[in-house]
Amino acid sequence: MGEVKGKSGPFGRRPDNSAFKQQRLPAWSPMLTANTVLPFFYFMALICMLLGVWLLLTVQSIQELKLDYTEAGTCNKCFEMRGNASNALKSCTCTVVFSIQKPFKGDVFFYYGLQNFHQNLRRYMDSRDDGQMVGRKKNLKNPSSYCKPFAADENGLPIAPCGAVANSMFNDSFTLTYHGSSGHSDKVPLLRRGITWYTDKNVKFRNPKIDNLTLPQVFEGTAKPLYWQKPAYELDPSEPTNNGFINDDLIVWMREAAFPNFKKLYGILYRAKKPFTQGLPAGSYSIDISYNFPVQYFQGRKEVVLTTLTWFGGQNHFLPIAYLVTSSLILLIAVILTVVWWKFGKNGKNMEE
């Protein structure tokens, strides 16, 4: 047989005889010694400890007030009423009184919270029609099969929005009032718009556009979710542009929580008028609650949360504690290595011998 000669000789496609292609380039291989490793460990332990302490001080500077109103104040009668399914459409209001000892300075965020409500169940999370929510006309009258059994009402009308997620939307409403020392009461102004993610409000949730029809006409021929008291186009009667699938409360609810105990944003303090320009002043407050959401069926609790925020976000101790624990572990390893080096390697003895 004859030789197969290529560019590099009789061996065919052999790489060129260069330092790069033959891997003869100079390289640096670090020698791990006690003089280099131990200072690195101590330095990383110090950095993690400083970050942990800094984040812990930042979190502790956040002011937060949690108020469980499930059966508090006059809400006990509403709690009992909501335990009977036959009273689902009856209105019930109650009032809870509380006080703030230390002023909440800066922006104040109003959340509602639920306990033992599992939004992270797979079948629950799948029970929605994203095509319907994005404003596709065909999905409005023909919901996805994933929405069953919340795809149509007892008369066969398609439900909009369909699915278990939308059907279980939190529908309590709140009015917060400040009672000053002079006996004068001021309604606490809350911004109820702009509480959603930008991509949700402007991309993922859109109302269908059909010719020049108004929103009620667009939703004509559809039914409201079974547990809703109002159809989608009347969610916010005071603001026509906040109805349908672009309602802020609906969008906030449709972003499922990862844990069974969670809170979702309800409003932000509007600081344009006194006495709220600096935040929430100390004093007595009351919350008038339209009590609609039942919790007996899943043994849950309801609460409102007033909190300030920092650049780090809300009151969450996980990351500071994680840094402090990591710092402690690194420091422990560094001390152990130091003891081993002091005992076996300080005098130049090779531990491998």
- The per-residue pLDDT for range 175-185, each reduced to its tens digit, is 999 998 777 88
Q: Which of 10-19, 80-89, 222-231 has the highest mean pLDDT?
A: 222-231
**Residue tagged 């922006």 (tokens):** 107
Query: What pTM does this model have?
Result: 0.81
Amino acid at 84: N
**Residue tagged 């002079």 (tokens):** 182
In this prediction, residue 35 carries a pLDDT of 85
Query: What is the C-alpha separation between 61 and 287, in angstroms, rounded?
Result: 25
- The per-residue pLDDT for range 296-320, each reduced to its tens digit, is 989 999 999 999 988 878 888 899 9
Q: What tokens were used for 277?
A: 């320009």
Helix (H, G, I), strand (E, B) or coil at 222: coil
Specify the range with the lowest mean pLDDT, choosing from 19-23, 139-143, 164-168, 187-191.
Answer: 19-23
- The per-residue pLDDT for range 90-137, each reduced to its tens digit, is 889 999 999 999 999 999 999 999 999 999 999 999 999 999 999 999
In this prediction, residue 96 carries a pLDDT of 94
If one counts every other C-beta atom within 10 angstroms of the C-beta of residue 179, the result is 15
If one counts every other C-beta atom within 10 angstroms of the C-beta of residue 112, the result is 23
In this prediction, residue 124 carries a pLDDT of 95
- Is residue 5 over pLDDT 60? no
Amino acid at 200: D
Helices 34-60 and 318-340: angle between axes, nearest 10 degrees:
160
Q: What tokens were used for 55?
A: 């984040």
Q: Alpha carbon of 75 to those of 69, 90, 91, 178, 187: distances in Å?
A: 7, 14, 12, 19, 20
- Is residue 11 over pLDDT 70? no
Q: Alpha carbon of 131 to those of 138, 142, 203, 243, 351: distances in Å?
A: 9, 10, 12, 18, 67
Mean pLDDT score across all residues of the chain: 89
